[in-house]
Amino acid sequence: MGKDLKGRELGTGIRQKANGRYEARAMVKGHSISISNESLRVLRKEFDIAKQRLESEQEVFYGLTLNEWFDQWFYNYKIHTIKKTSITPIKQKYRKVGDILGERQLDKIKNFELQEIITSLINKGHSSKYVKEIASTICSIFAMAKENDLIKTNPAAMLAVPNVVHKKDYRILEPDEEQVFLSYAKRRWSYELIFILLNMGLRCGEIGGLNIDDVDFNNKSICVNKQLVCSYYEGVKTLEITSPKTANAIREIPFTNAEVERVLKHQIEKTINRKKELGNRWRGENEFLNLLFTTNLGSPMTRYNIEREINHIINEMNTDEQIMARMENREPKVYQNCYPHALRHTFCSKCFKVGVDPKVVQMLVGHQNYSTTIDIYTHVMQDVLNKEMNKLKQAEVSKLNIL
């Protein structure tokens, strides 16, 4: 029980300091209150309000689990600062931790528990970059919990992510395989799109977001300044044209050969004619009305569409190869599964093999980090080195056989 300077009792937690000001202090479920004022009446009112506020907040948030706080953090602080396309990736990164600790009480989670999860993700083969993004997301979640006095310390503040380099196995089409691949692609509506991917190195979202006006025949280049994004939000699929994720992705790509110009002119003509043919059955409208590459009904070409086209081509190649092999009484050649990004890697490979500087390749394909370009360069040149060494070994064997 506090007292004033004359010894009179003021109530629990209230006292009068030597300078005459009144001071009130209290602890409410682990959270401190400290208020001072010259007026005892005003102080008591402020003190009561502060205690009531903390008591009501703690009733709501006391015992909050990590999953419950993630929802508060995401919808009150995060969702307004990100693109729709980032919603699913952030939730997926959180689930790497939330699936394990999500039902645990927020203030009971320890640093070593989070560190065990981070270390296990690295051991499972996830890249250091990806795991660092997870750690950063988790740290932000706990930091805001601390800011709201839900926890005293941030258990994710000192997470250590080892820098582990996992060797990437790039899928790159060999020259003879590329020719066979393109010969089969010519049977498909998507041939021009596939040809451009192989000869200009665009991402799926970039080629899907190109408008007819983005092709500049005067300067013989394509302007990349947006992307087509397919995302799912609360179970609903949405397609939209957005700005690229990074500044490096915005670029002018020169036509890499004369055939590129011919193919682009043919694609524009084909799209315009098909649009006239279908009339009001053409599915492209609003921001998708003048897309350069679409399905044969005018819908945007998403990554899923492109992947399905590539899989169909590879399956046809393998089926025909098996038939030919039986007819010729030999073992069939097996064409490996392919994915859209492999066409981008193939473009990089062709650039490196003819001596294009890696820095130039980085600008052409819009890599944010030079290290990404160099990784592909190293893979390609190591493959070239191995093939040249095999030639040398075969020559030595032939020489010994002659002797």
Per-residue pLDDT reduced to its tens digit, 284-331? 888 999 999 999 999 999 999 999 999 999 999 999 999 999 999 999
CA dihedral 44, 46, 47, 51 (to 10 degrees): 140
Tell me the pairing of strands 14-16 and 9-11: unpaired
Cβ(44)–Cβ(53) below 8 Å:
no
| Residue-wise pLDDT tens digits, 129-183 | 899 999 999 999 999 999 988 999 999 999 999 887 666 778 999 999 999 999 9
Beta strands in 39-102 (DSSP E): none
Domain boundaries along the sequence of the chain: 2-61, 66-147, 175-335
CB 320 within 8 A of CB 312: no
Residue 384: the pLDDT is 65
Angle between the 191-200 and 340-353 helix axes, to the nearest 10 degrees? 40
Structure tokens at 31: 């959270």
361: number of Cβ within 10 Å: 22
Q: pLDDT tens for residues 247-260?
A: 899 999 999 999 99
pTM of full prediction above 0.75: no
Quick one: CATH architecture of 175-335?
Orthogonal Bundle (1.10)
Q: Is residue 293 a contact partner of residue 301, using CB atoms and an 8 Å limit?
A: yes
Sign, Cα dihedral of 244, 246, 247, 253: negative
How does DSSP classify residue 239? E
State yes or no: pLDDT of 199 exceeds 90: yes
Q: State whether the Cα torsion 302-304-307-313 is positive or negative.
A: negative
CATH architecture of 2-61: 2-Layer Sandwich (3.30)
The predicted pLDDT at position 67 comes to 94
State the pLDDT at residue 6: 81
Q: What is the CATH number of domain 66-147?
A: 1.10.150
Q: Give me the pLDDT at residue 85, please.
A: 77
pLDDT of residue 348: 93
Helix (H/G/I), strand (E/B), else coil: 241: strand
Q: Give the whole-angstrom CA distance, residue 208 versus residue 126.
A: 28
